[in-house]
Amino acid sequence: MSRVIGIDLGTTYSCMAFMEGEKPKVIPNLDGLSTTPSVVSFTSTGEELIGTLALRQSITNPENTLYAIKRLMGKKYSSEKVQKAKKNLPYKLTEADNGDVRVEVDSKLISPQEISSKILGYLKSCAESYFGDEVKEVVITVPAHFNDHQRQATKDAAKIAGLEVLRVINEPTAAILAYGLENKKNATIAVYDIGGGTFDITLMEINEGIFNVLATDGDSFLGGEDFDNRIVEWIINDFNEENGVDLSLDKLALQRIKEAAEKSKRELSYTMESEINLPFIFSDKNSSKHIKKNLTRSKLENLTKNLIEKTFPYIDDVFMESKIEIQDVDEVILVGGQARMPLVKKMIIDYFRFDPVENINPDEIVAAGAALQSAILEGTMKDIVLLLDVTPLSLGIETENESFTKIIDKNTTIPTKETMPFTTVEDNQRRVRVHVLQGESEKATDNISLAVFDLLGIGAAPAGVPQIDVTFEIDADGLVKVSAKDMSTGRLQSIKVKSSSGLTENKINEIIKRTQKTNSQVEDDDKT
């Protein structure tokens, strides 16, 4: 019997779980660990390493060891955040023909979706080894603020890995689902989710088995990677001042420093001081240079405090949009590895005026919630009546002067349906083009283009006379249908918005065939 699992595909670590009876249980990987590094490495012999083995390659093979790929999913190469991330990555990013970001490995261009599919494929094989059975279906989590392109990119990665995605669920929603079901209480809960690469804040109300998301917001380029980079910059700048050498130009040295920075950051969650010791970090014909210095918790907090401060405007926004007050929140849950930092907890206490929940595992709770969602979809969980999520971003159309007119505001509970009347801008205009957009900017070009279609055969009339009703409809799975109707003639044109991850259906199938061929060759090699 094929199993359904829940997967939290993280920026730095991934986790998977399944329902054992009425409780979620984390599935260990082949190393017996509950979480797997979201890392893929390509060796000089052409071997692909995934997880812990790949992570060990980060020092000796930095240009071909790929991490933090989740940040690149569904992104354009020219975007400001991709360009910023590029400066801190040892591997090479380049631009695809369609403008998407690609990773260059040995002169081959690989999409972030294909790299993520290798991580998902590894998790799939671990689960199949655990069950002794096939795993075909999955509920997978994404940051709450991921747009449609990023969500579709995640689904395409799963498809390449041989997994059918039953539902994409927001990470904070999954966390509250797992926590709320375990504690069986009616409450208003805030989830502060800061992981390796992304940040989310979500407010949810639990009432008699109904899980209702009130508002959500976040940033897909704010997480533990940024904290690590602050330490890296501090080390490099100090070394440059003392020795006149810029270590950021040496990819091997940069990766050694990054690994040491992350190690010290983790230690400082439990100690007040951590030693950074990197012998022979630089050598020339005259001498060798070493790094040996102490990083205190106080120094780390000074370096990174403003990163935590960046999260609070998002928290203010979800309160404003949900129209509830801080004192209405009963509990706060901290999720994600970076939430272990003592300063994060302190600043959350200062904001909410009470301690966050302590009795959860921030690394596993999201995967547990995904497993619960799979049980809800299968109808085996009777304690939950309904899960009501929200749209992460506003939806609307482009109007005159390249303006963006919102039809469904972000944080609207789904399923939902909204209609707005529009008209023509020219006399006897017989056609209107409907350009569907997602985002928050008033300028159309600053938002994400989802679809374009034409309504033809509008009744001839002076400009401003025809009434054209544009309707947006979003179902429980977040699928969007847009229609335009000329009220005078009754002519109707509609489209189901299928987000593109940047990979065509043909390209996805081509990657799947190539992956299957590679796997078959590996199996044959193992037999011989």
Instruction: Give the helix ranges, DSSP H, for 34-145.
Output: 52-55, 80-86, 112-131
Instruction: Give the helix ranges, DSSP H, for 35-145.
Output: 52-55, 80-86, 112-131
> Which residues on neighbouring strands pair with residue 408, listed in sequence order?
395
Residue partners of 445: CB distance under 8 A and separation at least 6: 402
State the sign of the Cα–Cα–Cα–Cα dihedral 79, 83, 84, 89: positive
Which residue among 114, 156, 193, 225 is the active-site one?
A: 193
- For residue 258, give Cα distances in angstroms to 13, 251, 524: 16, 10, 38
What is the C-alpha to C-alpha distance for residues 481 and 470, in angstroms, rounded to an integer? 11
Neighbours of 453 (CB within 10 A): 17
What is the C-alpha to C-alpha distance for residues 289 and 278, in angstroms, rounded to an integer? 9
- What's phi and psi for 290, nearest 5 deg? -125, 160
331 catalytic per annotation: no
- For residue 384, give Cα distances in angstroms to 185, 189, 242, 478: 12, 17, 61, 20
193 catalytic per annotation: yes
| Length, in residues, of the chain | 528
The CA radius of gyration of the chain, in Å to the nearest whole number, is 25
Which residue among 8, 219, 321, 363 is the active-site one?
A: 8
47 catalytic per annotation: no
Residue partners of 397: CB distance under 8 A and separation at least 6: 404, 405, 407, 422, 434, 435, 436, 437, 470, 482
Measured over all CA atoms, what is the biggest interatomic distance in the chain, rounded to whole angstroms?
A: 85
Place of tokens 């008699």: 208
Helix (H, G, I), strand (E, B) or coil at 325: coil
Of 334, 81, 148, 312, give the one whose Cα is nearest residue 217: 312
H helices then E strands: how many in the chain?
Answer: 12, 27
**Strand ranges in 343-475 using DSSP code E only, listed in sequence order:** 386-388, 395-399, 403-408, 416-422, 431-438, 448-456, 468-474
What is the per-residue DSSP string for 404-441? EEEEE-TT-BSSEEEEEEE--SSTT--EEEEEEEESS-
**Angle ∠(513,514,515) on CA atoms, nearest 5:** 90
Pairing of strands 273-283, 403-408: unpaired
What is the C-alpha to C-alpha distance for residues 51 and 59, in angstroms, rounded to an integer? 15
Residue partners of 142: CB distance under 8 A and separation at least 6: 9, 150, 151, 154, 168, 169, 170, 171
8 catalytic per annotation: yes
Which residue among 100, 114, 137, 171 is the active-site one?
A: 171
> What residues are labeled active site?
8, 70, 171, 193
